[in-house]
Amino acid sequence: MPAIYGLVTVLLLVWSMVPVYAEPGSAPPPTAAFAFLPRIESIQLSPSGRHLAVLRNHEGHTILETQTVSGQDMRRVVSTDNREHIITWFRWVNDERLLVSIRFAATKNADDTIEMRLLAVNRDGTEETPNLLKQSSLSSIFGKKHVPQFQDQLVGTIPGDPRHVLLALDREHPDAPDVYKVDVYSGDRQLVQANPSSKPDGSAIAHWIADRTGAVRAGVGQFQTAVHAIARLPESSLWRELADYDLAKETGLVPLAFDADPAWLYVRDQHRGKAAIFKLNVVDRAADRILVVADPKFDLNGELVYAPGRKKVVGVRFSATDERVLFWDFDAQRLQARIDRAIPGTVNVIHSSSDDGRVHVVKSSGAAHPPRWSIFDEQDGRMVLLGKSYPDLETAALAAPTTTYVTARDRKELQVFLTVPKERDPRHLPMIVFPHGGPAARMPGAFNYWTQWFVSRGWAVLEPRFRGTEGYGDDVLRGGFQRWGLEMQDDVTDVVQYAIRAGIANASRICIVGSGYGGYAALMGAVKTPDLYRCAVSVGGVADLTQVLSDSRWYLNQKPMVEARIGSWWNDRDRLRDTSPIAHAQEMRTPLLLMHGRMDRSVPLLQSREMADALNAAGVTNSRYVELPLADEALRREEDRLHLFSEMERFLSQYLD
């Protein structure tokens, strides 16, 4: 293994180590320091541990670069300006070849969609295949051409085979992907697992799972709200049913991954009202399943964590946004303890490892700590900083949240996060109420550039976790089903009123801001409790629930799940109208800023356009509507983040400062 401590911090990270802004005194960092895309988005070690692939952002461009761990042979491999194409993930297949997932907005059959493609390229930038599966993208189905929408569904790699991977692709039958063995150089493919059609309703497997030998051994599918999971024995072609349940009524078993022993399958299922990790023996059906790990307060909804070499499962992440890991393996716990001693005070996550388990890339972050990236060599115990995702914020006075619990009007307990500018008393500060999106999103303890930007402007931030939020158990999640604008909104109101009663908030200086579902909550706050807020900001917010249900009919499985979560277009039409902000435009008197990206594929642009039209028709004069021409729901372009923050700062300052 070459030395890793030579030029790496010079060659790889000189651009991410020195703050662009170094303003004297106590002036807050400029908005751009928060709105910039992270300078480092991801770093992955090659299987041997000799090379690094770094996904970074610079001047609005996203760039995938490679270099040796010792800091030599730096190459730009892929680059995008993020106007049309977005890099969503990348992965080493072997020490020379990378796969890169590319996302772009599209329109199919008059419906706005997203498309995913797979690019393959050598680490020196040669032998680039811009669309690895181009040869297989067209099939004839009843005389029509079918182009698979998602062409990046990686099922797994094949141990001992550095040239091929397993990919799921619905080439023959829409929405029923088969599994192919694909050559990462030529794109040639071989069918290894056809999608079984064993269910009477005609539903198909949507997600496939391979065991650690590269054999496809489990799958899960959904038709409307019916979920079924299957698995097969090693060396067998017969599939067995693992689970069959109605997702609208219960949360059931979901297969996750096989252990090194192919007889054992890890699954997620309910344990005392929370999602927990079990393992079951698919060979011996009489054997009791084993509870591996559970948390008494939170769901374990994240991905499983493997030991280096990806044979043995050693832990699980809490969620996609909460990267903390619960380890059940002693060696993994001991390694984590060594890393935490080397980097105290942050959540430290092994982001990538060499196959031999010696070298690791570590991501360290926290609510008040933008991500930093380091490399750790187990053999000599040295930890070397590689770079920082937000170097411009290194000298900023970032603030960590405090946590409290608030009792709602019906005695439900709600977790609440309060972030206050350092050394400031929130009673004398303006406050931003910041309901999250989703509505099943949860990001406790993670760095949030929105929250820290609000705080940098001298505003306290109150983030309630209302019913319908994912991560707090099935009862909390399902407590939000069909309660949009009702108890879900009341929870936000109850938290704000508690903050006022407790002297945490200044009742005359509160605005509500949200994106996605949070945008809906901001609009409904202006409808239901107009005297509570000086102003409201909705970014890509839902305004018309009946239109959400109408739109859902065009997408596979979406309509029944939307009905389960929101309601029936016909049976619940009166409630849906009453809880749609657009139906109350003539009543709204709270100053309002509406913003929406034209490339948003989560909430259609029409939601905000029609809300703005309804406000204009009602003669409302204190609202403003702004469209971001190229913005998507995640604001993956710096220009859009800068534009949005600039608009919000002008608007919020008018009512809060």
- Strands 535-539 and 592-597: what pairing? parallel
Half-sphere exposure of 242 (CA within 13 A, CB side): 31
**What is the arrangement of strands in the sheet containing 153-158, beginning at the earlier edge strand?**
153-158, 161-169, 178-183, 189-193
Phi, psi of 222, rounded to the nearest 5 degrees: -145, 135
DSSP one-letter string for 498-560: HHHHTTSS-TTSEEEEEETHHHHHHHHHHHH-GGG-SEEEEES----HHHHHHHHTTSTTHHH
| SS3 (DSSP) at 291 | strand
So what's the pLDDT on residue 566?
95
- Strands 86-92 and 75-80: what pairing? unpaired
DSSP one-letter string for 21-38: ----TTPPPPHHHHHSPP
CA dist., res. 439 & res. 469, Å (int):
6
Is residue 284 classed exposed, middle or buried when 0-12, 13-18 and 19+ CB atoms within 10 A define those classes? exposed
Q: Which residues 6+ apart lie within 8 Å of 258 measured at CB?
A: 209, 210, 211, 212, 217, 218, 264, 265, 266
CA dist., res. 85 & res. 261, Å (int):
40
DSSP one-letter string for 434-459: ---STTT---TTS--HHHHHHHHTT-
**Residue ranges of the chain whose pLDDT lies below 70:** 1-26, 135-145, 197-202, 441-444, 553-557
- 228 within 8 A of 220, measured Cβ to Cβ: yes
DSSP one-letter string for 108-131: ETTEEEEEEEEEEEETTS-S-BS-
Per-residue pLDDT reduced to its tens digit, 509-547: 999 999 999 999 999 999 999 999 999 999 999 999 999
- Strands 510-515 and 431-433: what pairing? parallel
So what's the pLDDT on residue 439?
83
Q: Which of 545, 569, 391 is nearest to 15 (CA)?
A: 391
- 431 within 8 A of 462, measured Cβ to Cβ: yes
H or E, element range at 281: strand 274-281
CA dist., res. 560 & res. 467, Å (int):
21
CA dist., res. 641 & res. 630, Å (int):
11
Structure tokens at 155: 């099922």
CA dist., res. 32 & res. 23, Å (int):
13
Going along the chain from its start, the domains and CATH numbers come out as 1-78+332-396 (no CATH), 402-544+592-656 (3.40.50.1820)
Phi, psi of 82, rounded to the nearest 5 degrees: 65, 15
275 strand-pairing partners: 270
